[in-house]
Each structure stands twice: as structure tokens, then as C-alpha cells.
């Protein structure tokens, strides 16, 4: 029994080491061109997908193997398809992490190299870009044949540098799509995409535990007292933590009208009138140089991040500039 546990944990450690090696983009930076700047996805997201893949693969491989050894598949024929489905889900998470890893762009004044999952990198000169569009605060480039080449947003590392260079190097017409809409006299900035991802991952982990609990002689009611089911409560604890984080993301939003703004958090809510706004500061912070707006109310700064509110940030920035002009508010780098 002791050797079985060592094999199981050794398998997960081996997967984690492999993921760490394959998911490290610095190797490819040196291989492609160390002098080029790279725009890429936040490493936390892709390694999260790798982590979920490790959990699902380990759960279904070892629990499923134990159930098959006990002969549970003879009484319940659906067990083997469920095991294969769970392993497939883990593999798909690995693939999602790999896709996030490969979707990066190396660039300088000479041109850009676009990473493409499951295909070779595409190298282009800036003069080969046929069109550039601005959709909200997303930048879209089209290749020589008019096909969409890439779509980038402020959540990507070095997006600001890439956006500035693309606007400077491309002669294509810039189009900004989308209308500024106010619903009920207000607009809401929310982290919808991240919230859905967290709730989805949490539900997937809980579903995996429930399904595996029906395999073999496992009893979910005894998962906290049986040593061979230790991975079940660990997985549920991870799912609960991810779910709570999803609730925190859902509550993290900003509501504003033409008269006031409200900063909403999970356990707090603060409302200020625009006429009390004293200063607006625009800056790039952190290693990823994420653009943020810092609004000063009552002597305290409140940050609005372009990476958190991807779709609404550009409209909010335009609104803030208008407020600053109308009220003569002190600004910095705006």
C-alpha cells in the first residue's frame, strides 16, 4: 500500500515537473530571438490549466485503475467510459495550457513572429499587415490575404508596447467598433470572463469527485476517514477555494453614472460623486506593465485596471478624460 501511494504521488510530481519545463516560455525566447520583445498570456492562467489537467488525470487514472482491479467494471459497465472521459478532460486541460503557451507574439521594428498552436511560427514584416482594427480596447491585425492574424487585449504581457508599435508601424486604417451604451443611466465594469472560468473549474472538480465516488467500493460519506480516499477531500478543498475566489471576482465591479461612481467589493461598497474627484493619474505598474487609472477621492487613490475590465476599460478611459476636461481636474500622464 505504501508503494502504491509513492507511485501515485511520484506520478503527479513527474507531471508537474514536465509541465514546468514545457510551460516555461523563456526557452523559446532564447531560441527564437532574445532581442525581440514578447507579448504573451499571463503565466498564471496557463499553469492553472496545467494544474487542473494534473488533478483530473491523476484522479481518473489511479482511482479508475483501482476500480478496474477490484472488478467494478463487470457490475457497472459505464465505469470504463467515465474513466476515459475524465482522462480526456485532463488531456484537454493540458492542451488548453499549451495553446495559451503558444499564442505569443515576438516583435520589434523589423517585424513580428506569431506563435500558432500545433503549427510553426509565422514570421511577417509590418508592411505585410493589411488592416488593423480597434474593437473596444482589443487590437486585431489582419494578414496579407485579409485573414485575421491575431487578436490582443490588455491582459497580455507587453500589450501596451505591442499596441504602440503596431499603431506606429502599420499604415492600415484603424477602425474602432462598438457603441457606448448606458443601461438605466449607468455602466457596469465587471470581471465576467474570469468569474465564469473559476466557477466552471470548480464545478468540473466537484463533478469529477462525485463521478469517481461511484466507482468501485468508494463511499463519499467516508472520504474523510479512509486513507485511500485522501485525494477526494483535497480536490473538494481546491474546488471550494476556487469557487470562493470566483465569488470574490463576481463581487469585484465598478458601477458609474454621469454623476457618481461606486467601487464594489465582496464586503464593502464606496460611492463618490464626480465633483469630489481631486486627481486622475494614469500609470503602468508591475512586471507586466499593466495600465491603471488612479482616481483620488477624499485623499485616497482607487485603482481601475485595464487587465481586470478588458471590454469596458477603453470606454471608461474616454469618460474619465471627458470628466477631467469638464471639471478641470488635475491629471498625470492622462
Q: What is the mean pLDDT of the chain?
A: 80
How far, in Å, CA of 102 to CA of 41, rounded? 9
Q: Tell me which H or E stretch contains 120.
A: none
On the question of pLDDT at 209 being above 90, the answer is no
Confidence label for 253 from pLDDT (cuts 50, 70 and 90): very high
User: What's residue 333's pLDDT?
Assistant: 84
The interaxial angle of helices 2-22 and 43-69, nearest 10 deg, is 150
Fold of 253-332: PH-domain like (2.30.29)
Most confident by average pLDDT, 75-89, 112-126, 149-163, 265-279: 265-279
Helix, strand and coil in the chain, % to nearest 5: 50, 25, 25
How far, in Å, CA of 176 to CA of 317, rounded? 14
Between 85 and 226, whose confidence is greater? 85
Q: Which three cell numbers stand for residue 185?
A: 443611466
Confidence label for 18 from pLDDT (cuts 50, 70 and 90): low
Mean pLDDT value across residues 223-236? 75
Confidence label for 296 from pLDDT (cuts 50, 70 and 90): very high
Mean pLDDT value across residues 68-94? 76
User: What's residue 228's pLDDT?
Assistant: 65
User: What's residue 271's pLDDT?
Assistant: 95
User: What's residue 5's pLDDT?
Assistant: 57
Confidence label for 276 from pLDDT (cuts 50, 70 and 90): very high
On the question of pLDDT at 125 being above 60, the answer is yes
Q: Which three cell numbers stand for residue 145?
A: 490575404
User: What's residue 217's pLDDT?
Assistant: 61
Give the tens place of pLDDT for each residue, 172-191: 545 555 445 677 788 999 98
Q: Which three cell numbers stand for residue 262?
A: 461606486
| Residue 291: closest CA among 187, 169, 158, 152 | 158
Burial label, 38 (beta-carbon count in 10 A; 0-12, 13-18, 19+): buried
Mean pLDDT value across residues 113-129? 86
Q: Which three cell numbers stand for residue 318?
A: 474616454
Q: Which residues pair with 286 in a beta bridge?
A: none
Domain with residues 105-177, CATH architecture: 2-Layer Sandwich (3.30)
| Residue 218: closest CA among 54, 325, 60 | 60
Strands 111-114 and 105-107: antiparallel
User: What's residue 136's pLDDT?
Assistant: 66
Domain spans, the chain: 2-102+191-250, 105-177, 253-332
Confidence label for 126 from pLDDT (cuts 50, 70 and 90): confident
How far, in Å, CA of 93 to CA of 188, rounded? 31
On the question of pLDDT at 317 being above 60, the answer is yes
Between 18 and 47, whose confidence is greater? 47
User: What's residue 278's pLDDT?
Assistant: 92
User: What's residue 247's pLDDT?
Assistant: 95
Amino acid at each position: 500500500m505504501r508503494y502504491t501511494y509513492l507511485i501515485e504521488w511520484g506520478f503527479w510530481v513527474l507531471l508537474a515537473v514536465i509541465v514546468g519545463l514545457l510551460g516555461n516560455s523563456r526557452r523559446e525566447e532564447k531560441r527564437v530571438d532574445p532581442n525581440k520583445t514578447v507579448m504573451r498570456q499571463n503565466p498564471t492562467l496557463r499553469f492553472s490549466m496545467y494544474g487542473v489537467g494534473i488533478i483530473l488525470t491523476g484522479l481518473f487514472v489511479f482511482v479508475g485503475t483501482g476500480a478496474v482491479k477490484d472488478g467494478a467494471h463487470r457490475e457497472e459497465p459505464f465505469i470504463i467510459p467515465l474513466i476515459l472521459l475524465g482522462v480526456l478532460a485532463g488531456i484537454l486541460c493540458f492542451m488548453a495550457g499549451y495553446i495559451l503557451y503558444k499564442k505569443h507574439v515576438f516583435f520589434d521594428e523589423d517585424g513580428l513572429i506569431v506563435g500558432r498552436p500545433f503549427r510553426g511560427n509565422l514570421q511577417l514584416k509590418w508592411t505585410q499587415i493589411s488592416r488593423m482594427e480597434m474593437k473596444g480596447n482589443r487590437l486585431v491585425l489582419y494578414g496579407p490575404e485579409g485573414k485575421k492574424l491575431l487578436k490582443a487585449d490588455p491582459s497580455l504581457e507587453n500589450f501596451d508596447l505591442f499596441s504602440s508599435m503596431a499603431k506606429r508601424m502599420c499604415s492600415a486604417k484603424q477602425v474602432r467598433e462598438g457603441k457606448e451604451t448606458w443601461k438605466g443611466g449607468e455602466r457596469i465594469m465587471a470581471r465576467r470572463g474570469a468569474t465564469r472560468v473559476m466557477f466552471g473549474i470548480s464545478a468540473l472538480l466537484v463533478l469529477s469527485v462525485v463521478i469517481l465516488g461511484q466507482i468501485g467500493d468508494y463511499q463519499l460519506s467516508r472520504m474523510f476517514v479512509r486513507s485511500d480516499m485522501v485525494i477526494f477531500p483535497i480536490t473538494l478543498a481546491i474546488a471550494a477555494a476556487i469557487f470562493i475566489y470566483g465569488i470574490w471576482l463576481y463581487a469585484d465591479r465598478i458601477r458609474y453614472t454621469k454623476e457618481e461612481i461606486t467601487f464594489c467589493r465582496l464586503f464593502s461598497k464606496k460611492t463618490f460623486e464626480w465633483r469630489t474627484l481631486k486627481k486622475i493619474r494614469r500609470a503602468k505598474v508591475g512586471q507586466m506593465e499593466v495600465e491603471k487609472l488612479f482616481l483620488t477621492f477624499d485623499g485616497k487613490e482607487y485603482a481601475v485596471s485595464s487587465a481586470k475590465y478588458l471590454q469596458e476599460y477603453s470606454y471608461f478611459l474616454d469618460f474619465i478624460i471627458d470628466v477631467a476636461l469638464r471639471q478641470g481636474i488635475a491629471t498625470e500622464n492622462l
